[in-house]
Structure 1
Amino acid sequence: AQLRAAETAIIGDIEQIPPKYSAIKVNGQRAYELARQGHEVIIPTRRVHIFELSLTLAGNVLTGCTRVSKGTYIRTLVEDIAAQLGTVAYCQELRRLQIAHLISDDPANPRDMHTVVEIRSLANAAERDKLLLPMDLLCQQFPAQAITGAHWQSLIRGRQTSIDSEQQGMVRLYLDKQFCGLGEIQQTQLKAFRLLNTGF
């Protein structure tokens, strides 16, 4: 009953004070830099939203699964939950299961993790590619737009270019079927938003 009460109290909009050892900027400097220099760091509260929270307790180990808004500090959330339970706690393990539309294949059996050094050490490009997800997977919410070499040359020089397209707004750009960045179409004009250093 106490766990369910804590869940109910936390779900919804809450005010959080981010930790002083965080990357938030205070007067133009990272909070953690100021804290390491021995300065007093005062970080204002921020409102975040907790969409879901489920808690289970085994001995003195509390396990939880939550879905939260951008800007939520999970380690601070752990302290908030502990306060609701009338105790203190620290985060022993933290695992992100989803970001945007990308979901872990199997939270119980995550895929092997590889460091950048390990991936770069593989001589076979095909073997390297097996370990990497395609970059355009992160922006599938935008429609695809094929462009020509002439379009690309204009975009990399910072110029808008005319394009005949049914798409409007943000688009994924493909040159010769290779993802090369994001662009924005307004009426018949295409401008670059973020381009990749593709070597085209």
Structure 2
Amino acid sequence: MLGFLNLNKPFDWTSHDCVAKTRKLLQLKRVGHAGTLDPAATGVLPIAVGKATRLLQYLPTDKAYKATIKLGVRTTTDDLQGEIITQQPVTNLSLETVKLALRQFEGKIEQIPPSYSAIQVQGKRLYELARKGKTVEVPVRTVEVFKIEILDWREGEFPEVDVAIACGTGTYIRAIARDLGTVLNTGGTLAALQRTASSGFFLADSLTFTDLEAQLQTGTFQLLPPDVALGHLQSTHLNPTDALKWCQGQRIAAQENSDYEILRVYAEDGRFLGIGQSQDDLLIPLLVLEAIS
């Protein structure tokens, strides 16, 4: 088997749990995922099966989320899964003030990842150090947030704002919730998170594990084609002679593509052969998925 599964990750499952479950259901060992999701988050988790695991590095990195931010509360993990550090009712906070504050988080911003995250410092995961009570300096990262849109606003002692966030790789939505609370001087934490798009896959097209099991029982399940999320890469088609040479690992004369471009490579009949690189008028094999005889 070779291709992708667009999984709708359930609440309270780790990304590793999802890979293990997929291995068991498909009875395959070679399974991987793109873009780790926290256990408390739900939504799109791209799963690669078979040789498609080697394509994970070529997937687009943009992501989109729907998040609920709760104001007036700070926690150890920057979401409701952690212990409450402070909790103070919020008064006289308007939606317009929140809108203005959120603008600070659009564009390229500097962000300190949550203390409870999988980032490594001194060879250790931050969450491992945090659980041991060790305090370390977390390096600031530059991330990009393309757009933040307010979806809903609920007033009260602890107001909540629902937002849609489109962002680049490495962005922590928990950190945005925390930092929004800091800007507003109220405290803030992430109350709910759903990933609506990731690496070229979308929530509307995703399958739950219940869907997957039902399709497997009826024999209707099919993996998504291995090139389904690679539309951001240019493509090139090879004649039979060149396709044979390329699939054997040989460099061939490149088509009219810019140097150093990563390309999707196809046979004349449309079969997806793999990933190549155009360099110095040559098409170099980077990843060959299908042999041609």
Pairs within 5 Å for 1:86-105: 86-99=185-198, 102-105=201-204
Asked whether 1:57 is paired with 2:57, we answer no
Asked whether 1:165 is paired with 2:255, we answer yes
Deviation for aligned residue 1:96: 2.3
The gaps in structure 2 that reach 5 residues or longer are: 1-95
> Where does residue 235 of structure 2 map in the other structure?
144
CA contact (8 A) 1:20 1:42 kept: no
- Find the aligned partners of 1:98 and 1:181 in 2 and give their Cα distance: 24
> Where does residue 213 of structure 2 map in the other structure?
118
- Find the aligned partners of 1:64 and 1:134 in 2 and give their Cα distance: 32
CA contact (8 A) 2:254 2:283 kept: no
When the two structures are superposed, what TM-score results if normalisation uses the length of structure 1?
0.73
The gaps in structure 1 that reach 5 residues or longer are: none
Higher strand share: 2
Q: 13-22 vs 26-35, which deviates more?
A: 26-35
> Where does residue 73 of structure 2 map in the other structure?
none
Q: 1:179 aligns with which of 255, 259, 272?
A: 272
Structure 1 pair 101–39 and aligned structure 2 pair: CA distance change class (3 A): same
Deviation for aligned residue 1:75: 0.8
Aligned length: 186
1:7-31 Cα offsets, whole Å, 9 max, x none, are 2333344332101222222123332
1:1-53 Cα offsets, whole Å, 9 max, x none, are 22222123333443321012222221233323333455433211223333322
Letter of the 1:172 counterpart: R
Q: 1:133 aligns with which of 224, 230, 233?
A: 224
Root mean square deviation of aligned Cα: 3.1
Letter of the 2:252 counterpart: S
Indicate the structure whose relative CO is greater, using CA pairs within 8 Å and at least 6 residues apart: 2
Identical residues among aligned pairs (%): 29
Deviation for aligned residue 1:86: 2.5
CA contact (8 A) 1:21 1:32 kept: yes
Structure 1 pair 190–13 and aligned structure 2 pair: CA distance change class (3 A): closer
CA contact (8 A) 1:54 1:65 kept: yes
